[in-house]
Amino acid sequence: MSHRIAVLDYGMGNLRSVSKAIEHVAGDAEVRVTDDHEFIRAADRIVFPGQGAARDCMIAIGEHHLNQAILEAARTKPFLGICMGLQVLMQHSQENDGTDLLGLFDGDVVRFDGKAIGDNGLPLKIPHMGWSPVDQSAGHPLWNGIDSGSRFYFVHSYHVKPKDASLTAATTEYGVKFVSAVSRDNLFAVQFHPEKSADAGLQLLENFVNWDL
Amino acid sequence: MGLAKRIIPCLDVDNGRVVKGVKFVDIRDAGNPVEVARRYNEEGADEITFLDITASSDDRETIVHVVEQVASEVFIPLTVGGGIRKVDDVRRMLNAGADKVAINTAAVFNPEFVKEATDKFGSQCIVVAIDAKQVSKEGEPLRWEIFTHGGRKPTGIDAIEWAKKMTDYGAGEILLTSMDRDGTKIGFDNELTHAVAAAVSIPLIASGGVGNLQHLVDGVKQGGADAVLAASIFHFAEYSVGEAKAFMADQGVEVRL
């Protein structure tokens, strides 16, 4: 079965590592970094990465006319959001003096307050950068073969606060306990970078490629 | 369990080849950065840093190919430093698959470049590398200044003030090298590390002087570093990255095992 995976390209950041990591686990699937609406509509799976500031992301999504395509894909086929690709699914971000997002999920994106003290006696650094444990909230096909508490690589200063607690697929501690993965039906979205998280990350991507709804 | 302290092996790359000799018994070509990076990844490195020391700018393209190859098969964060002077250099490295780019001398001569790069690509991918040397004399309060050209040229800029300024300019991380300790194998300058770590709100990588595994622990516990970078102890296979992490864990440092 020929299998097509679209990595959504809206000009925010470098998508090469994401596409390379997916190609690494995707067998003979066609992995394309694209903003082509036809390809996105026809693709079997969608990966929605993103880096940078919330406002720039929203502007770039608008310029590529991807708002509807993203929302449609997020409701209809296996969909994996990564980093900003999780955050922009929420309603509103504190970033850039307040930015309206795609609004698929109720809830805000808030900044780490920088008040928590680390084990070396210094305030926790922002961004939260490095490998932190991801505690799985419930079983999910994308966690197959990955122990709860496995470390993944994070780089972010903001985190999501979904209102609906049943969306939470994992949490992580960094001064506060925050939601590091959400899932609903065909959608899974993570704050960390599976494409940079060595074996655990590749396992998650492989699980996504093999995820049958 | 929280955020792990990161262990970062650093490779000096000259014209596409790893220099300073890498002694892995079962590596076919120890000068091949791709093979060395693959090995460090297997040993559990949390990131890999490439320092391009290619002298001629004509040969700079070689590091781009190195990064492309490594990024196609090693799925941990990659940082590239050396010869990054303009926005286009940053773009080239990121497009090749680097996750972060370290800006050193160019930041000193043109601080606006850091602002420009972080505006364009985001703070998360801009590391400011600081080479500092102690300038206070015995008995005076400790003071360090920025040096360029491999520690030969003083700039008169205070290291702590500079680190704060670079944070304000949008840097996502600081890579701090003690020029007094670099190559000495007597340990990090933990007073310098701590002074800078306490002054900035962004993560700090300590570098320069590692000769044994206790030095890595000291960099974290005494220096307050978020990550430790070392070259020679890993290159000459004195210790593997795995051994370093096991030792640090034994000493109570949280690492990714």
Q: Is the ipTM of this complex over 0.90?
A: yes
Nearest chain A residue to B98 by CA distance is A17
- Is the torsion defined by CA of A133, A138, A142, A144 positive or negative? positive
| pLDDT the model gives residue B150 | 74
Residues 6+ apart with CB under 8 A from B220: A120, B5, B228, B248, B253
Task: Indicate if the pLDDT at residue A171 is higher than 60.
Answer: yes
Secondary structure (3-state) at A79: strand
Q: How far is B8 from chain A (nearest CA, A)?
A: 11
**CA-closest candidate to residue A203, choices A120, A151, A114, A142:** A142
Secondary structure (3-state) at A34: strand
Exposed e or buried b for every residue in B199-231, given b needs 16+ CB within 10 A?
bbebbbbbbbbbbbbebbbbbbbbbbbbbbbbb
Q: How far is B65 from chain A (nearest CA, A)?
A: 14
Q: What are phi and psi of B239, to 5 degrees?
A: -140, 145
Break chain B into its structural domains and give their ranges: 6-250
- B94 and A51 within 8 Å at the Cβ level: the answer is no
| pLDDT the model gives residue A16 | 84
Which residues of chain B are within 8 Å of residue A117 when distances are taken between CB atoms? none
How far apart (Å, rounded) are the C-alpha atoms in residues A142 and A209? 9
Going from the C-alpha of A189 to that of each of A56, A71, A87, A135, the distances in angstroms are 20, 13, 9, 15
Going from the C-alpha of B178 to that of each of A28, B190, B203, the distances in angstroms are 48, 9, 17
Assess if CATH 3.40.50.1000 describes domain B6-250: no
Residue A96 CA to its chain's centroid (Å): 20
The first and second tokens of residue A207, run together, are 């699980």
Task: Indicate if the pLDDT at residue A173 is higher than 70.
Answer: yes
Residues 6+ apart with CB under 8 A from B180: B133, B134, B189, B208
Task: Indicate if the pLDDT at residue A2 is higher than 70.
Answer: no
Going from the C-alpha of B100 to that of each of B49, B53, B83, the distances in angstroms are 9, 17, 14
For tokens 């940082």, what's the residue? B79
Tell me if B122 sits within 8 A of A51, measured CB to CB: yes
pLDDT tens per residue across all 257 residues of chain B: 899 999 999 999 998 988 865 665 566 677 889 999 999 999 999 999 999 988 777 777 899 999 999 999 999 999 999 989 999 999 999 989 999 999 998 899 999 999 999 988 889 999 999 999 999 999 999 999 999 877 788 999 999 999 999 999 999 999 999 999 998 999 999 999 999 999 999 999 999 999 999 999 999 999 999 999 998 899 887 899 999 999 999 999 999 99
Q: What number of C-beta contacts closer than 8 Å exist between A and B?
A: 103
Residue range(s) defining the domain that contains residue A17: 4-209
The answer to whether A193 is a known catalytic residue is yes
For tokens 């050396």, what's the residue? B82
| pLDDT the model gives residue B27 | 63
Q: What percent of chain A has pLDDT over 70?
A: 98
Transcribe chain B into DSSP letters: --PPPEEEEEEEEETTEE-S----TT-S-TT-HHHHHHHHHHHT-S-EEEEE--S-GGGGHHHHHHHHHHHTT--S-EEEESS--SHHHHHHHHHHT-SEEEE-HHHHH-THHHHHHHHHH-GGGEEEEEEEEE-PPTTSPP-EEEEETTTTEEEEEEHHHHHHHHHHTT-SEEEEEETTTTTT-S---HHHHHHHHHH-SS-EEEES---SHHHHHHHHHTT--SEEEESHHHHTTSS-HHHHHHHHHHTT-----
Task: Indicate if the pLDDT at residue A64 is higher than 80.
Answer: yes
**CA-closest candidate to residue A133, choices A142, A145, A146, A123:** A146
| pLDDT the model gives residue B149 | 79
Tell me if A133 sits within 8 A of A174, measured CB to CB: no
Task: Indicate if the pLDDT at residue A84 is higher than 90.
Answer: yes
Point out the residue among A129, A151, A196 whose CB comes nearest to the CB of B75. A196
Which residues of chain B are within 8 Å of residue A191 when distances are taken between CB atoms? none
How far apart (Å, rounded) are the C-alpha atoms in residues A151 and A207? 17
Other beta carbons within 10 Å of B83 = 18
Greater pLDDT, B80 or A114: B80
Residue in B89, B99, B131, B218 annotated catalytic: B131
| pLDDT the model gives residue B21 | 57
The answer to whether A57 is a known catalytic residue is no
How far apart (Å, rounded) are the C-alpha atoms in residues A85 and B141? 48
Tell me if A135 sits within 8 A of A172, measured CB to CB: yes
Which residues of chain A are within 8 Å of residue B172 when distances are taken between CB atoms? 127, 129, 155
Residue in A57, A83, A95, A156 annotated catalytic: A83
CATH of the domain at A168: 3.40.50.880
Measured CB to CB, residues of chain B less than 8 Å from chain A are: 1-6, 41, 46, 71-73, 75-77, 94-97, 99, 121-125, 172-173, 197-198, 201-204, 220-221, 224, 226-227, 254, 256
Is residue A51 very low, low, confident or very high in pLDDT (cuts 50, 70, 90)? Answer: confident
Is residue A122 very low, low, confident or very high in pLDDT (cuts 50, 70, 90)? Answer: confident
Average pLDDT on A190-203 reads 97
| pLDDT the model gives residue B23 | 60
| pLDDT the model gives residue B26 | 62
Task: Indicate if the pLDDT at residue A1 is higher than 60.
Answer: no
**CA-closest candidate to residue A158, choices A112, A122, A96:** A112
Q: Domains in chain A: how many in total?
A: 1
Which residues of chain B are within 8 Å of residue A151 when distances are taken between CB atoms? 4, 256
